[in-house]
Amino acid sequence: MRAADAVSQLRPRLSLRGRLYLFSGAILMLFAFNVGTSLWGSFARNESSIAYREAVTAAQLTAELEQNLQNKRQQVLVLATLRETTEEPLDAAALNQAYADLEIIAERLRQLGGFGGEDLEAYYRRLHDSVTALLGEWRQFYERYNETTQTPDIESAVSYNNTQQRLQELDQRQSFVAVQRANAIDATITLTDQITVLGFISSIAITLALVFAMIRSTNASLTRMKRGVERFGSGDLTYRIDEQRDSGEIGDLARTFNDMSTKLQTAIEEMNTARADADSANAAKSMFLANVSHELRTPLNAIIGYSEMLQDELGDGAQIDREQFHHDLATIIFSGKQLLTLINDILDLSKIETGKMQVSREIFSPAGLLVQVCDALSPLLLQNNNRLKLDIDKDSMRDMNSDRGKLQQIVTNLFSNACKFTKDGEITVSAHMSEESLIVSVADTGIGMTQAQQDRVFEAFTQAESNTGVKYGGTGLGLAIVREFCAMLGGRVALESQPDQGSNFRVTLPADPTSVPAGA
Amino acid sequence: MTDIDPSILLVEDNEVNRDMLVRRLQRAGHHVSTVGDGEAALEAMRQQQPAVVLMDMNLPIKDGWTACQEAQQDPSLSSIPIIALTAHAMEEDKRRALEAGCSDYATKPVDFPDLLAKIAAQLDARC
Ligand SMILES: Nc1ncnc2c1ncn2[C@@H]1O[C@H](COP(=O)(O)OP(=O)(O)OP(=O)(O)O)[C@@H](O)[C@H]1O
Ligand SMILES: [Mg+2]
């Protein structure tokens, strides 16, 4: 994992544009490099042809100079011999010709000085000195040729031989330097040729590699994008593209896509929860309707059934059992009241929901109320063979200022639940008052509830299980009303319960809201 | 033993409704015996072999649907017609009762003449 991270850290994170710039920059540099080496190569070739030409010219000049010197010496020797034998002077034209010849030789010498450079400098200087001396001697020879009667001095053989020697040395040196230069230039040409070929081949290779890398990296980025879009599109709402892998435009695109994904995901999740909420609300409503229908029909069955039966019995004209008659009427009345309670519950809840429920306060004795309610509801105890334990702390009890009717209904609902969900057990109604509050608790030893059930039973139309209504009757309104009434009276209801261990509902209500200091 | 005088078994846990129906059926000339839960109903069916069973569906211990299904699977009980009685009045509830093996269905509050007709129809079908 860490190694992979390190690798991806090393990976150059370049934008697409950066990659393109880098790519074209690299190719341009390769191109410049190739052009450079090829220029260097052709420069070297040029160099070599110049050097060749120079060498040829220098060799030619040397040869000419040698020839001229030889000719002149021949002439001088001939003239000298002539002078000894004929004593005929030279005319002006011949002399001028001779001087011109000497001038030509001097000129050649100068020209030769233009070639060679440092390497040949010393050789040339020596040759120059000795040729100049020789020429001086020859000039003297001509100048004195006509003047004197005595035989003019011919140049010494030493001078001429010296000159010859120098000339030869220069010549040798020249060819040596030329060969050296040629070798150096050849080496350069070979080198530049090699560099050019290598450069060309490696340019192609590097360009190909760059193109390949470029395509691969761009393709990888785009593939990541595509995979992200596909995965998200096919419903994997939590999928996100790895933003760290790319920078620049594609990284931006990935980030934008991820932002969009997050928003979409939130929106879709919200929509789903909204729909689920709506669905469960709807399910609760239809459940409620089914339960209400069932609850209305049960007492109606008794009311209609007994009434029809009494009507029949009256119609028979037979002797009427007054006691039986009285009992049957009581049953009809009881069922009618049960029906009324249910209808009132539904009305209460809709009043609460539309905010129309009023609180009407009065001073009353909560202890008296509790005794009265338990008395009135004692028939419920018989249904499931339960015992009642009434535990009222007389010492702490006093009058309170609250809504008597609502407290009565709160206790009634809790009491009837306790009777309904407990069999052969004990129901304990206890109460005491503190400085500010009345605390009433209704505890039973019945079926109890799991934590999840406790969390939902205070919702309207909601029962612990979907079959609670079928098993025990009821519409899931009792506890919703308890909770709302407690809130309206400034108090609260708490529930402690465990499956099969029983439940304990504890209601806390302010004894006199007007006397409670603000903020307490 | 019940050939001449066919008897009805009423299965109902609600005391008020049970009392009311027993009295009305007796006034109409039927022999009626009662039990209060599904388990007891199966037991009574085995012992008494009633001509017709009127069964509430919301019963303690073993509910009406289960009792019906078990009666259907028991060869000695499968021939006894069962009329479902329930305060669940939705079309769905009716279908559920018939699927569980009930022969007929009556909704509470009971239309008594109609119930008598349904009982008579089941008795006729048996003869
Ligand atoms: N004392 C209790 N013991 C066990 N479960 C309880 C108790 N009180 C309430 N419950 C659970 O909470 C649910 C909601 O209670 P609530 O009083 O709101 O409705 P109900 O009693 O089913 O119907 P209604 O009160 O409208 O007739 C009940 O259906 C039951 O599952
Ligand atoms: Mg309740």
Asked if the Cβ–Cβ distance from A303 to B108 is below 8 Å, we say no
**What's the pLDDT score for residue B2?**
40
Across the strands, what pairs with A432?
A439
A309 touches chain B (CB under 8 A): yes
CA-to-CA dists, residue A308 to A259, A263, A332, A416, B24, angstroms: 72, 66, 11, 30, 9
Burial of A218: CB neighbours in 10 Å, binned 0-12, 13-18, 19+ = middle
Distance from the alpha carbon of residue A283 to the mean position of ligand 2, in angstroms: 20
Q: pTM of the full predicted structure?
A: 0.52
Residue B88 to residues A356, A357, A416, B67: CA-CA distances in angstroms? 32, 31, 22, 17
Q: Is the pLDDT of residue A9 over 50?
A: no
List, for residues A73-99, the tens digit of each pLDDT value. 888 888 878 777 777 777 888 888 888
Query: What is the per-residue pLDDT across A482-509, written as a single tens digit (0 to 9) for each?
Result: 999 999 999 999 999 999 999 999 999 9
Mean of the per-residue pLDDT values of chain A: 85
Residues facing B34 on adjacent strands:
B10
Nearest to A293 among B14, B63, B89 (CB): B89
Q: How confident is the model at residue A7 (pLDDT cuts 50, 70, 90)?
A: very low
Burial A485-506 (b: 16+ CB within 10 A, else e): bbeebebebebebeeeebbbbb
- Residue B89, pLDDT above cutoff 80: no
Per the CB < 8 Å rule, is A301 touching B109?
yes
The counts of H helices and E strands in chain A are 12, 7
Ligand nearest to the CA of A472: 1
Residue A431 — φ and ψ, nearest 5°?
-150, 145
Confidence bin at B1 (pLDDT 50/70/90): very low
Compute the CA torsion angle B41, B88, A411, A452 (nearest 10 deg): 90
Stretch (H or E) spanning B104: strand B104-107
Q: If you average pLDDT over each of A177-191, A370-384, B49-63, B78-92, which comes out highest?
A: A370-384
* A463 alpha carbon, closest ligand: 1
pLDDT at A10 > cutoff 50 = no
Q: Work out the minimum CA distance from A283 to partner chain B, whole angstroms.
A: 15
pLDDT band at A196 (very low <50, low <70, confident <90, very high): confident
Q: In angstroms, what is the span from residue A479 Cα to ligand 1's centroid?
A: 7
A418 Cα–ligand 1 center, Å: 8
Total domains in chain A come to 2
**Res. A122: pLDDT tops 50:** yes
Q: What is the pLDDT of residues A357-366, one digit of tens each?
A: 899 999 999 9
Domain boundary among A201, A228, A244: A201
Residue A2 above 60 pLDDT?
Answer: no
Residue pair B58/B86 in contact by the 8 Å Cβ criterion = yes
Q: Is residue A303 part of a domain?
A: no
Name the band, by pLDDT with cuts 50, 70 and 90, for residue A470: low
Q: Report if residue B89 sits inside a domain.
A: yes
Q: How confident is the model over A404-463, as pLDDT tens digits?
A: 999 999 999 999 999 999 999 999 999 999 999 999 999 999 999 999 999 999 987 788
Burial class (CB in 10 A: 0-12, 13-18, 19+), B24: buried
Nearest to A89 by CA among A42, A144, A20, A132: A144
| Residue A513 CA to ligand 1 centre (angstroms) | 29
Q: What is the CATH number of the domain that holds A51?
A: 1.20.120
Which residues in chain A are closer than 8 Å to B28, comparing Cβ atoms? none
* Range of the structural domain that residue B35 is part of: 7-126
What DSSP element (H or E) covers B35?
Answer: strand B31-35
Q: Do B20 and A470 touch (CB under 8 A)?
A: no
Task: Please give the pLDDT value at position A487.
Answer: 94
Q: What is the pLDDT of residue A352?
A: 85
In a domain, A64, yes or no: yes
Q: Is A293 on the interface with B (CB under 8 A)?
A: yes
Q: What residue of A is the nearest CA neighbor of B109? A: A301
| Mean pLDDT calculated for residue range A243-257 | 81
Nearest to B67 by CA among B89, B36, B91: B36
Residue B2 lies in a domain: no
- What pLDDT is attached to residue A363? 94
- Tokens 């069922």 correspond to A335
CB A170 within 8 A of CB A62: yes
Contact B88 A294 (CB under 8 A): yes
Portion 33-92 of B in contact with A at CB < 8 A: 58, 60, 63, 87-90
Inter-chain residue contact A297 with B89, CB threshold 8 Å: yes
Are A306 and B20 contacting, i.e. CB atoms less than 8 angstroms apart? yes
Closest chain A C-alpha to B1 CA, distance in angstroms? 30
Residue range A152-170: mean pLDDT, rounded? 76
Nearest to A496 by CA among A430, A448, A440: A448
Chain B nearest-CA distance from A478, in A, is 21
Q: Which of A201, A219, A248 is the last residue of a domain?
A: A201
Buried b (16+ CB within 10 A) or exposed e, A98-135: beebbeebeebbeebeebbeeebeebbebbbebbeebb
pLDDT of residue B22: 93
Residue type, A442: V
What percent of chain A is modeled with pLDDT above 90? 29
**Owning domain of residue A439:** 358-510
Cα–Cα dist A58/B79, whole Å: 142
Sign of CA dihedral B2, B3, B6, B9: positive
A471 and B CB contact within 8 Å: yes
Residue A254 DSSP SS3:
helix
pLDDT at B5 exceeding the cut of 90: no
Please tell me the distance between residue A414's alpha carbon and the centre of ligand 1 in angstroms: 8
CA distance A140 to A153: 8
8 Å CB contact between B52 and B122: yes
Chain A touched by B126 (CB under 8 Å): no
Compute φ and ψ for B86, nearest 5 degrees. -150, 155
| Angle at the Cα of A405 from the Cα atoms of A402 and A407, rounded to 5 degrees | 60
Give me the DSSP letters along A423-440: SS-EEEEEEEE-SSEEEE
Which 8-state DSSP code applies to residue A104? H
- Mean per-residue pLDDT for B85-100? 83
Sheet holding A492-498, edge to edge: A387-392, A426-433, A437-443, A502-510, A492-498
Q: Is residue A501 part of a domain?
A: yes
Q: What is the pLDDT of residue A478?
A: 92
CA distance A309 to chain B (A): 6
**Count of structural domains, chain B:** 1
pLDDT at B33: 93
Any idea which ligand is nearest the CA of A291? Answer: 1
- Higher pLDDT pick, A254 / A307: A307
The answer to whether A84 and A151 are in contact (CB under 8 A) is yes
Mean pLDDT over each residue of chain B, to the nearest integer: 86
Angle value at C-alpha A215, between A209 and A220, nearest 5 degrees: 125
Question: Ligand 1: which of A479, A486, A493, A501 to mutate, most ligand atoms within 8 Å of CB?
Answer: A479
* Chain B residues whose beta carbon lies within 8 Å of the beta carbon of residue A473: 58
CATH code, A423 = 3.30.565.10
Q: Is residue B1 part of a domain?
A: no
**Which pLDDT band, with edges at 50, 70 and 90, does A13 fall under?**
low
DSSP per residue over A504-515, as a string?
EEEEEEES-GGG
Has residue B14 been placed in a domain? yes
Q: What is the CATH number of the domain that holds B27?
A: 3.40.50.2300
- Beta strand pairing status for A502-510 and A492-498? antiparallel
Please say if the pLDDT value at position A368 is more than 90: yes
Q: Is residue A89 part of a domain?
A: yes
Query: Is A495 domain-assigned?
Result: yes
In a domain? residue A86: yes
Which of A149, A181, A201 lies at the terminal end of a domain, its last residue? A201
Taking CB atoms and an 8 Å limit, are A300 and B89 in contact across chains?
Answer: no
Q: What are the chain B neighbours of A337 within 8 Å (beta carbons)?
A: none
Using CB atoms within 10 Å of the CB of residue A215, give its burial: 0 to 12 exposed, 13 to 18 middle, 19+ buried. Answer: exposed
CA distance B127 to chain A (A): 29
Instruction: Give the pLDDT confidence score for residue A37 in this predicted structure.
Output: 82
Mean pLDDT of A206-232: 85
Q: Could you give the C-alpha distances from B41 to B5, B33, B75, B88, B101, in angstroms and in order?
A: 20, 10, 16, 20, 15
How far is the alpha carbon of B105 from chain A, nearest alpha carbon, in Å? 15
Ligand 1 pocket list (CB less than 6 A): A 345, 413, 417-418, 421, 444, 446-449, 457, 463-464, 468, 474-480, 503
Whether residues B17 and A298 touch (CB distance < 8 A) is answered with yes
Distance A304 CA to ligand 2 centre (A): 25
Q: What is the separation of C-alpha B15 from the centre of its chain, rounded to a whole number of angstroms?
A: 16
Contact check, Cβ <8 Å, B20/A309: yes
Q: Is B75 among the domain residues?
A: yes
Nearest ligand for residue A444 CA: 1
Q: pLDDT tens across A297-343, in order?
A: 888 998 999 999 888 888 877 777 888 889 889 889 988 988 898 88
Residues A478, A291 contacting (CB under 8 angstroms): no
Q: Which residues of A touch B110 (CB under 8 A)?
A: 301, 304-305
Q: Do B23 and A309 touch (CB under 8 A)?
A: yes
- Whether residue A118 is contained in a domain is answered as yes
Task: Answer yes or no: is A251 within a domain.
Answer: no
